[in-house]
Amino acid sequence: MSRLAERFAERTAADSSALVTYLVAGDPAPAVTVPTMHALAGAGADVIELGIPFSDPEAEGADIQAGCERALAHKVRLRDVLDMVVAFRQQDTRTAVVLMGYLNSVEAMGYERFAAAAAEAGVDGVILVNLPPEEAEELRQALGALGVDLIFLLAPTTTDVRARHVLGVASGFVYYVSLKGPTGSANLDVAGVRTRLDDLRALTGLPMAVGFGIRDGATARAVAEFADGVVVGSALVRRMGELAADPESIPAAAAAFASELRAAMDAA
Amino acid sequence: MSREEVMTTQQAQRSSFEAADGMVSFADYNFPDERGHFGRFGGRFVAETLTHALDELDRVYRTLKADPAFQRRIDRDLAEFVGRPSPLYLAERLTRELGGAKVYLKREDLNHTGAHKVNNTIGQALLAQHMGKRRIIAETGAGQHGVASATVAARLGMECVVYMGAEDVERQSLNVYRMKLLGARVVPVESGSRTLKDAMNEAMRDWVTHVDDTHYIIGTVAGPHPYPSLVRDFQAVIGRETREQCLAAEGRLPDVLVACVGGGSNALGLFHPFIRDAGVRMVGVEAGGDGIATGRHAAPLCAGVPGVLHGNRTYLMEDEDGQIIATHSISAGLDYPGVGPEHAFLKDLGRAEYVAVTDEEALRAFHHLTRTEGIMPALETSHAIAWVMEHAPQMDSEQIIVVNLSGRGDKDILTVARHDGIEL
Ligand SMILES: Cc1ncc(COP(=O)(O)O)c(C=O)c1O
């Protein structure tokens, strides 16, 4: 079983959900990232999504855009992001790590080189926001051959016909985008998401994680009632941004936030 | 695929090209494929939320494209609202002064709103109406596409929001005011480099949020499929008219077509109806800014590498890590790090050539055309004029150049004055 599958299976067996936390690699400074990843894992995060900073994050709301800009001010490159995973893995071989970003970063490195480097670093999965399955075959094979999952997203606007097609090539887990909008939007319709997820479950045995619009214990708890995983991104990145002037305080603050989410979810 | 792949480069005026299954004559040129690919360029690289809207747009467009009533409606709007056909004007004095090829100007500057951009917004607004969308969004650089979008929105009674880089809001203040007069809301974009690419990012974010009731009018032949071919088809009226007009005036096709290239819509609109005529040379002029060697330019076809941005694979200006780099051009409408994927394809095929002209050369051309012909070109267009000024003298008097006079320069007079040290 892959590390991703194990983490989800474990939480499901305990009648809870996996906590998936997102941060931008190198935000607000490169030295903060690995300690923050350890802090999140220690507080109950099962999967860490590590954002690859990109100059033009077109699907991102204001919080994650700002996170990318803070990281890029330090000229954080994809190679640096992979090195952070290598460093993290020296102490943690349990928590799943998923890289999340935009296709151009990977194209610039080259598919084969990226797949090899990601696998070697201990990356479990890759999410590329602007890479739909139709264009993904070459990369999917390159990653798949080395045991790295290419994870796809489904949205409220995805039709059933298309969902079947996407799920036919999906691996790792399914990332369900809970609302129309960039990351960090408000207005999560929990009941609507639940109904949709029930429909999709008929089409796949993969774990289903829900993201976009989950900002605190209450929303995490509501989604954990029915989802296999709860993704929290913008709310964490915003907190990290607020502490940018005092980077030493970030790992502890991230841990406190993750504990709050974890406790709320476990009470669901 | 990796960047180490060697790029095949141009070899102008070949009569055939290599497709996946062998050599194909340009007479059979028919792109994109079903999924919007021009060879390895183009495609659709977007967040999942937008896929459905793009599928719908593609389906509706295919249906309407084959519908004679829709075509008649567009033709009527282009005739009565835009003022088409635009003249193909023989620039006699310019021709005499340059002392070489005969220079014709395709007068898109005479269109309603002052540029070629309206050819596309007329068509897309009708599509939006047909799809039942009440709200229009657009990105704009020079403001011409924003004005053209605000214009059709006003006419059809639609809400219109235009995203514009904060830097462009400053340098194109006349167009900002025009858009406001037309009832549009102009949103200055402060992120990134505060220019056209950032406006496009912000428009995508708006679209993903309001996709149910909003149509995004992309202003050039870029973006995810079906935009590159859809915008090209709406702009191809330029080339179709040019063909007829040149045949009527000269009894033959032109030797050279020249147009400036930002995203590439005025160039492709002129070029496309001639692609199958292998004897017609096509030259796209990019913004050379301070000069290609300085790195301060906006010439991805001349100095970029293939990558993925704004929904398609094309030539981009980026660093080794794939980060998009800041561009520079005196003309806001050319200040973009990417280019339409069909141009990337035509470059690799060697069917079109792409060159760059600096800010200084463009400014000189602006003044020259204004003084010799009484026609004040947009700074974007001035780049194409600069190429003509350099190359027409080396051609013989039997040869014909057609330049796309994509827009008029009224919007740019503050920039020109500032550059010339004049306080208005
Ligand atoms: C007059 C004029 N020409 C050219 C352009 C560049 O766009 P494109 O390359 O799509 O024709 C613009 C864009 O604003 C413009 O206003």
Domains and CATH numbers, chain B: 3-13+83-114+236-419 (3.40.50.1100), 44-79+117-230 (3.40.50.1100)
What average pLDDT score do residues B333-339 get? 96
Dihedral pair phi/psi, residue B49, rounded to 5°: -55, -30
User: With bands split at pLDDT 50, 70 and 90, how would you rate the model's confidence at A70?
Assistant: very high
User: With bands split at pLDDT 50, 70 and 90, how would you rate the model's confidence at B22?
Assistant: low
State the Cα–Cα distance between residues B16 and B37, nearest whole angstrom.
19
Q: Give me the residues of A, 124-183, that contact B with CB < 8 A.
A: 129-132, 134-135, 138, 152-159, 162, 166, 177, 180-182
| DSSP conformational letter for A146 | T
Provide CB contacts within 8 A for A121, sequence distance 6+. A82, A83, A85, A86, A89
**pLDDT, tens digit, 9 for 90 and up, residues A185-243:** 877 889 999 999 999 999 999 999 999 989 999 999 999 999 999 999 999 999 999 99
> Per the omega criterion (within 30 degrees of 0), is the bond before B224 cis?
no
Would you say residue B9 has pLDDT above 50?
no
Judging contacts by C-beta atoms under 8 Å, the chain B residues touching residue A134 are 35, 43-44
State the Cα–Cα distance between residues B95 and A38, nearest whole angstrom.
72
Partners of B307 in the β-ladder: B314
State the Cα–Cα distance between residues B173 and B234, nearest whole angstrom.
28
**pLDDT, tens digit, 9 for 90 and up, residues B286-299:** 999 999 999 999 99
Tell the residue nearest (CA) to atom 16 of ligand 1: B144
Would you say residue B131 has pLDDT above 50?
yes
Tell the residue nearest (CA) to atom 15 of ligand 1: B333
Would you say residue B89 has pLDDT above 60?
yes
The boundaries of the domain holding residue A210 are 3-266
What average pLDDT score do residues B167-175 get? 90
pLDDT for the residue A185: 80
pLDDT for the residue B1: 38
For A160, the enclosing helix (H) or strand (E) is: helix A160-169
CB-based contact B189:B176 (threshold 8 Å):
no
State the Cα–Cα distance between residues B304 and A43, nearest whole angstrom.
45
A/B interface, count of CB pairs below 8 Å: 129
Cα of B174 vs centre of ligand 1, distance in Å, is 16
Provide the residue type at A149 as one letter.
Answer: D
ipTM of this complex prediction, to 2 decimal places:
0.96
Q: What is the pTM of this model?
A: 0.96
User: With bands split at pLDDT 50, 70 and 90, how would you rate the model's confidence at B3?
Assistant: very low
State the Cα–Cα distance between residues A210 and A88, nearest whole angstrom.
25
Lookup: tokens for A134: 């139709």
pLDDT for the residue B24: 72
Half-sphere exposure in the Cβ direction for A59 (13 Å, CA): 24
User: With bands split at pLDDT 50, 70 and 90, how would you rate the model's confidence at A184?
Assistant: confident
According to DSSP, the β-strands at B400-405 and B102-107 are parallel
For A209, the enclosing helix (H) or strand (E) is: strand A208-211
Our count of domains for chain A comes to 1
Provide the residue type at B97 as one letter.
Answer: E
User: With bands split at pLDDT 50, 70 and 90, how would you rate the model's confidence at B128?
Assistant: very high
pLDDT for the residue B11: 36
Q: Where are the beta strands (DSSP E) in A26-129?
A: 47-51, 96-101, 125-128
**Which residue in the set B1, B49, B191 is minimally distant from A65, CB to CB?**
B191
**pLDDT, tens digit, 9 for 90 and up, residues A10-59:** 999 999 999 999 999 999 999 999 999 999 999 999 999 999 999 999 99
pLDDT for the residue B199: 97
**pLDDT, tens digit, 9 for 90 and up, residues A238-257:** 999 999 999 999 999 999 99
CB-based contact B128:B136 (threshold 8 Å):
yes
Judging contacts by C-beta atoms under 8 Å, the chain B residues touching residue A105 are 321-322
**pLDDT, tens digit, 9 for 90 and up, residues A91-132:** 999 999 999 999 999 999 999 999 999 999 999 999 999 999
Provide CB contacts within 8 A for B354, sequence distance 6+. B10, B261, B283, B284, B285, B286, B299, B301, B302, B343, B347
State the Cα–Cα distance between residues B7 and A91, nearest whole angstrom.
43
For chain A, the 3-state helix, strand and coil shares in percent, each to the nearest 5, are 50, 15, 35
**Quick check: helix, strand or coil at residue A112?**
helix
Would you say residue B171 has pLDDT above 90?
no
Q: What is the CATH number of the domain that holds A249?
A: 3.20.20.70
User: With bands split at pLDDT 50, 70 and 90, how would you rate the model's confidence at B21?
Assistant: low
Judging contacts by C-beta atoms under 8 Å, the chain B residues touching residue A104 are 307-309, 316, 318, 322, 324
Would you say residue B355 has pLDDT above 90?
yes
Lookup: tokens for B225: 């499929």
Closest CA to B239 of B357, B352, B362, B147: B352
B295-301 LR contacts (CB < 8 Å, sep 24+):
B296/B328, B297/B327, B297/B328, B297/B329, B297/B356, B298/B262, B298/B327, B298/B328, B298/B329, B298/B334, B298/B335, B298/B336, B298/B337, B299/B354, B299/B356, B300/B337, B300/B338, B300/B339, B301/B261, B301/B339, B301/B343, B301/B344, B301/B347, B301/B354
- The reply to whether residue B45 touches residue A158, judged by beta carbons under 8 angstroms, is no
pLDDT for the residue A181: 86
- Residues of B with catalytic function: 117, 139, 406
**pLDDT, tens digit, 9 for 90 and up, residues B262-284:** 999 999 999 999 999 999 999 99
